[in-house]
Structure 1
């Protein structure tokens, strides 16, 4: 199924708006960067037996963050509109 870029971005916005507060709170400092397709680096470094990459998180997982993580760039989530 193919949807337009605008429809995809609206769908992401709707999902974020509908998240329960406890999940939305931990995403406050996470950037969302939409990509049409995964780049070469993402395809090479990700192990995915299905051959499809629907999204990628870059950053320190919330469960691994400590007080020593201050000053670290915020995490980024890359939803992928197409699949590889």
Structure 2
């Protein structure tokens, strides 16, 4: 469904997940159902934020590595040099 962008299968998948009896899966399905328009748009559009998310993740990892060791100036240098 995700790799082929088959949005027509989404309502059926959400219904199956909600009635699966597995609490975590049904909670996830409820969340998807509450913002259905955004989920459907994510399945149908060609755009994604993968590159941005990767950059943000890299910066957060650098920040966590330096927690309590230095200030903003060193973090800035590490981000710009990495």
User: Is TM (by shorter chain) over 0.5?
Assistant: no
TM bucket normalised to smaller? 0.3 to 0.5
Higher relative contact order (CA 8 A, sep 6+): 1
Task: Give TM-score scaled by structure 2 length.
Answer: 0.33
Task: Give TM-score scaled by structure 1 length.
Answer: 0.33
Higher strand share: 1
